[in-house]
Homo-oligomer: A and B are copies of this chain.
Amino acid sequence: MYLPGPSIYRICMIYNLLDDLITEEKQLISSSEIGNMLGINAASIRKDISFLGEFDNTGARYDIKKLHNHISKKLKLNIERRACIVGIGRLGSAILHYDLFNKYGYQIVAGFDSNVNKIETLKTSIALYPAYKIPEIIKEAKIELAVLCVPGSAAQISADRLIQGGIKGIVNFTPGIIKNKEVFINNIDMVKEFQVLSAMISTTSPQ
């Protein structure tokens, strides 16, 4: 099954919305209702869901629990995965303690920093290691995901160490561009977020 990147993003948005709706004990939802809630058009919603293969839908609306299970199975979101944080500054430390990962099956099992003093003095329940140990620990602890919070200048070397250890996906919070073709990388750049909003303010109107 091949899914385009933007579809994967949208399907994950749908999945999380369904998760909320299950909590609210809602049972059925139409593609236009989903679309309205997420600000995506209904045709895209239907197309994205069709990418996941046949879905046994009775009636005009989706059964929320069934669709949630369907997405979970097809995208294997029910698999638990281990993750680590590289760069334990303010941002890295905040993400290290982010409390929603566990609920969704992501376990933060290690933090890395090049500053050995910092590692020794920080109080946290998660194991911290010096940065040179990245490849070794990634392999040993079977870590698949990493969040990169180092300065931009250290982004590539940190990513190279992660890749050397066999990491599969990286959330890159640094402004640095990581060159590689071996792993999946999602870039989150705080400045770019502001630039994108500024450009939207300058060029268009909200829907």
Contact yes or no, A198 B79, CB < 8 A = yes
Residues of B within 8 A of A75 (CB): 195, 198-199, 202-203
Contact with B along A10-46 (1 / 0, CB 8 A): 0111011100100000000000000001100000000
Chain A residues 161-204 with CB under 8 Å of chain B are: 168-171, 175, 177, 179-184, 186, 188-204
Query: Is A106 located at the chain interface by the 8 A CB criterion?
Result: yes
Contact yes or no, A182 B196, CB < 8 A = no
Residues of B within 8 A of A191 (CB): 16, 100-101, 103-104, 106
Which of the residues B37, B168, B194 comes within 8 Å of A81, measured between beta carbons?
A: B194
Closest CB in chain B relative to A73 CB, distance in Å: 10
CB nearest neighbor in B for A144: B201
Contact yes or no, A193 B188, CB < 8 A = yes
Contact yes or no, B199 A12, CB < 8 A = yes
Contact with B along A67-79 (1 / 0, CB 8 A): 0000000111101
Query: Is A97 located at the chain interface by the 8 A CB criterion?
Result: yes
Mind listing 22 A-B residue pairs with CB under 8 Å? A1-B203, A3-B199, A11-B199, A75-B195, A75-B202, A79-B198, A81-B198, A90-B93, A90-B94, A90-B98, A93-B94, A94-B94, A100-B175, A100-B190, A101-B194, A103-B191, A106-B194, A144-B201, A168-B201, A169-B197, A169-B201, A188-B188
